[in-house]
Amino acid sequence: MKKLSKLATRLTERLPIILRTALGTLIMGQALAPAQDTTPQAELVWSDEFDGDSLDYSKWGVAVNAFGGGNHELQIYTDRPENVRVENGNLVLEARHDHAAIAGTEREYSSGRIHTKHRGDWTYGRVEVRAKLPVGQGIWPAIWMLPTDDAYGGWAASGEIDIMEYRGQTPNEVLGTLHFGGSWPENTHSSASYKLPAGTFAEEFHVFTLDWQAEKMVWSVDGHAYRTETKWHSSQAEYPAPFDQRFHLLLNLAVGGGFVGSPDATTAFPQQLLVDYVRVYQ
């Protein structure tokens, strides 16, 4: 069923060409040639469609971390199927209020975080992730990239690219952010947000895209570009550093932290970040 859905999506994307051809046949008795597309075509170099029944460990590593992910987050990251699994054609990262423990350390919440480090590392390209987001006060999903080699030093001197992050208490808005400059606390960042014209990101799947070139990055949601960035800097090297090195992808679902605050009585658990596919083009 999922493969049929993806085929339907591709056919829908080609619908304008099909309609032009049919119109030409009706009016002129012959098909009109579609307009030439002069945009350079990128090649799919890495992808995961999550069509199987388990995570592909040749593509993903799973975080096991009893102390969250920093930023005063409240979750413990585990590799349990309760927190990380593939089912019904989707990656599921699930946040739970279950007092899970690792190596004798218990935390109130548990969740999942995966990465492509040393399995998928790229310099420049287009990253597309189709996902459905969770909802609720204190819920913090993210699709982001970190440097594989830390060529310019510790965070954030070597950079961080946030393709999508989101506060569960404002479910109609996502953000795209860059972190750069020097090592903490000499770092800085730039950010912009995109709001849905109607509905929320928790109601259906959306495609989050980063187009990353040597001196330009463009963030899009469902094909709508909402941010273009051409200015950043590094304390260690000339522009376009630090974003001239290889980066890897991370997907995670955090609970709490300075960005979103703690869950409250209105926050329902479990919450899920569902990912339909990840595709990287160069």
Instruction: Catalytic residue, from 94, 128, 165, 229: name it.
Output: 165
165 is catalytic: yes
DSSP sequence for 170-199: STTEEEEEEEEESSTTSEEEEEEEEE-SSS
Gap between the Cα atoms of 183 and 234, Å rounded: 10
Q: What count of other Cβ atoms lies within 10 Å of the Cβ of residue 40?
A: 5
Instruction: Catalytic residue, from 73, 94, 128, 160: name it.
Output: 160
Phi, psi of 39, deg, nearest 5? -70, 130
Closest CA to 117 of 178, 156, 59: 59
Closest CA to 160 of 168, 148, 170: 148
Structure tokens at 236: 């260690």
Q: Is the peptide bond before 242 cis (omega within 30 degrees of 0)?
A: yes
Determine which helix (DSSP H) or strand (DSSP E) holds 3, and give its type and residue range.
Answer: helix 2-13
**Residue 280 DSSP class:** E
How buried is residue 173: exposed, middle or buried, by Cβ count under 10 Å (0-12/13-18/19+)? middle
Q: Which residues are catalytic?
A: 160, 165
